[in-house]
Amino acid sequence: MVTLNAVLGVAAIELGLVLIPGPNMIYLVSRSVTQGRRAGLISLAGVACGFLVYLVAATAGVATIFALVPTVYTVLKLAGAAYLLWLAFQALRPGGKSVFAPRELPADRPGKLFTMGLVTNLLNPKIAVMYVSLLPQFVDPARGDVAAQSFTLGLVQITLAITVNGLIAMSAGSISRFLGDRPAWLKVQRYVMGTALGVMAVRIAADRSRAVVAATP
């Protein structure tokens, strides 16, 4: 049985993380603006499944592979960093556009939307590392099954992440129209977003941290 303090602690940390623009937010906003709210929600479902995949893996102990086989972590980490750099380039390059700027894109089918949302989330190994390193800090073995507590706290994180990302995705159209009437703001937003993505990519690529997993009986 998890404590209220544990739930609030995980929720506070996740709220800070989810408000920082990352691959999930960029993809969901882009898809919602270009193809509508329904497409955004389908993509969000894929993102949610990505969270669940990592949570189940972490709860079962499979995510310790990142600590035991550093090469796997490194490959996924660099893939995620490369993706962020590509997004940053798209925002900062001459003639680039803000993620909130309407653009012509071919409409993808629901299956592809879902898959892209899933892959976008799975390409970020920080999610697995977060589960493996963060959740144990709020788990108390004296209060029952450790795996059950970890899974419950993971669900708290997922619920908050999906709620916030969903609200942002659903508001993307309104934000796009607001910025569309203010070209200067749109340009500033594009440069701020591109710079933030570039910094995040460099930090992820340079990070030498490893997931630390405490052995449980």
Out of 3-17, 105-119, 176-190, pick the least confident: 176-190
Whether the predicted pLDDT of 156 surpasses 80: yes
| 215 belongs to a structural domain | no
pLDDT in the model for residue 126? 64
Structural domain span for residue 164: 4-206
pLDDT in the model for residue 30? 78
| 157 belongs to a structural domain | yes
Identify the top-confidence range among 23-32, 36-45, 123-132: 36-45
Q: Give alpha helix (H) positions in the chain.
A: 4-18, 23-35, 37-60, 65-68, 70-92, 110-122, 126-134, 146-180, 183-206
Calpha distance 40→27 (Å, rounded): 9
Identify the top-confidence range among 7-21, 66-80, 91-105, 159-173: 159-173
Calpha distance 194→93 (Å, rounded): 9
Those residues with Cβ within 8 angstroms of residue 133's Cβ, 6 or more apart along the chain or in another chain? 211, 212
| 213 belongs to a structural domain | no
- pLDDT, one tens digit per residue, over 64-106 is 555 566 676 677 667 767 766 776 777 677 766 555 555 555 6
| 108 belongs to a structural domain | yes
pTM: 0.66
| 216 belongs to a structural domain | no
Which residue is listed with tokens 């955004």? Answer: 40
| 214 belongs to a structural domain | no
Calpha distance 88→71 (Å, rounded): 25
Report the phi/psi class of residue 195: left, alpha or beta, with left for phi > 0 and alpha for psi in -120 to 50.
Answer: alpha
Share above pLDDT 70 across residues of the chain, in percent, rounded to a whole number? 64
| Closest C-alpha to 193, from 175, 174, 208 | 175
| Closest C-alpha to 133, from 63, 194, 205, 47 | 63
Over residues 34-46, mean pLDDT:
88
Calpha distance 93→81 (Å, rounded): 18
| 136 belongs to a structural domain | yes
pLDDT in the model for residue 213? 39
- pLDDT, one tens digit per residue, over 49-64 is 999 988 888 777 655 5
* Number of domains making up the chain: 1
| 43 belongs to a structural domain | yes
pLDDT interval class at 211 (50, 70, 90): very low
Those residues with Cβ within 8 angstroms of residue 179's Cβ, 6 or more apart along the chain or in another chain? 98, 100, 101, 185, 186, 189
